[in-house]
Structure 1
Amino acid sequence: MSTKNDILSLLQREALTVAQLCERLGITRNAINVQIKQLEAEGLVRRQKAPERGAVGKPSTVFEAAPGAEDVNSGAYPAFLKALLATLGDTCGKEALGDILEKTGRQLARAAGLSSPVDFESGLRAAMAAADALGANTEAIEQPDGIMVRNYSCPIGGAVRQEPCGCRAIAAFFSEATGKPVQEHCLREGKLICQYLIQIKTPKRR
């Protein structure tokens, strides 16, 4: 584990001062302070003032793990998601599962504040940035009938290989964020490559 993870692990158990962290981990105060600042910036650690006990001088700052930091190092989510998708597929059928995932993708976009973009370009940039922050690696490629968002690092790749309809969630995410129809064109043979065509031009009628 890294020093930052070691600090967080200790603070998940109990609130400690920098001096106490130095003692527990056997490293310098400066090293602790650097990691504490990063953990605070990430919202994983917060500080409290130690209650005064009649001592002279400024009370020591006590740090603790912030609510929501309990599962930051969890490796359970991929396995849980796979099991959940399999259970939902068996219970309600693949088509219903696809509809649920599409609603989930739209909800993710709304929760991230990406719904109702000012314009298409800003919506697309925000959606790609949000996807990349979750572990994607996206690029936008112009096509005759729109923009293809291609991703070489799927954040839910393991689940998508098991349940291809999972791609509908990502397609719906981009649709909600850009205000445009989106079609999924993912490649799943061999290396997984996610592709979502955002339609920004009206198809010609035949």
Structure 2
Amino acid sequence: MTTKANILAALRRENLSVTQLCKQLGVTRNAINLQLKQLQADGLVLALGAKRNGQLGKPALIYQAAPHSEDVASRAYQPFLADLLNVMSDQVQPDVFTDLLEKTGRRMAHNAGLSQPANFEAGLRAAMAAADRLGASTEASLQENGVTMVRNYSCPLGTVVRNQPCVCHAIAAFFSEATGRAVTEQCLRDERLTCQYLIEPV
């Protein structure tokens, strides 16, 4: 593991000072301080305050792993989601499954503050920015028939989509909720995934 990962792992076990981290990890104070600053900037580590250790001088700051910092090391989300969707598709009717996916996409947009846009252009820009923050790489183009196509070359749900292509309905519903218009998906699921969402004109 890297020094940053080692620091985070140590702080998940107990709250520690820089001196204690140096002793545990066998690295210099400069190395610890540099990584702590980055971890704090990333919101993964919190400084609790100063604690005296019985010695003269400035009290030592104590650090702890921030709540939810365990998500950084987690690799369970993708396989869990894939298996959950596979079980759901086996247990419920196709129309019910699709409806659940669409409701999920709309809720994602709502929770991101994208519902009821002031206008189409603002809603589309906000939705694309939100999708990009989730790992997408979107671009929009106006087609001859007045349809706006949102294309993405970095599917944020890649592995899941390969197993359950209907997941794309959720993202279509996400863009629909964010723009206030009907949206259909025409994603290309070849060796490389290309997301394509067609937003109908008013």
TM-score (structure 2 length as normaliser) = 0.91
Query: Does 1:176 pair with 2:177?
Result: yes
| Post-superposition offset of 1:124 | 1.6
- Distance in 2, matches of 1:171 and 1:64, equals 40
Map of 1:146 onto structure 2: 147
AA aligned opposite 2:116: S
Deviation at 1:41, TM superposition (A): 2.1
Cα deviations by residue, 1:113-138 (Å, 9 ceiling, x for unpaired): 22222222222222112211111111
Q: How many residues align?
A: 201
Distance 1:176 1:78 in 2: 25
In the aligned structure 2, how far is the partner of 1:38 from the partner of 1:53? 25
Q: Which residue of 1 aligns with 2:61?
A: 61
Within a 5 Å distance, the mapping from 1:1-206 to structure 2 comes to: 1-52=1-52, 56-144=56-144, 145-199=146-200, 201-202=201-202
What CA distance in whole angstroms lies between the structure 1 residues aligned with 2:42 and 2:109?
21
Deviations 1:149-200 (A, max 9, x none): 111111111111111110011111111122221111101133211101122x
Provide TM-score, normalisation by structure 1.
Answer: 0.89
Q: Distance in 1 between matches of 2:129 and 2:31?
A: 31
Query: Aligned partners of 1:113 and 1:61: how far apart in 2?
Result: 37
State the Cα deviation string for residues 20-79 of structure 1 (Å, max 9, x = none): 222222333232222222222222111112444665543211111111112221111111
Inter-partner Cα distance in structure 2 for 1:125 and 1:28: 46
Contact 2:137–2:154 under 8 Å retained in 1 = yes
Q: What letter is aligned with 1:111?
A: N
Query: Which deviates further from its counterpart, 149-158 or 56-65?
Result: 56-65
- Aligned-residue Cα RMSD (Å) equals 1.8
Per mean C-alpha deviation after superposition, the further-off stretch among 105-114 and 20-29 is 20-29
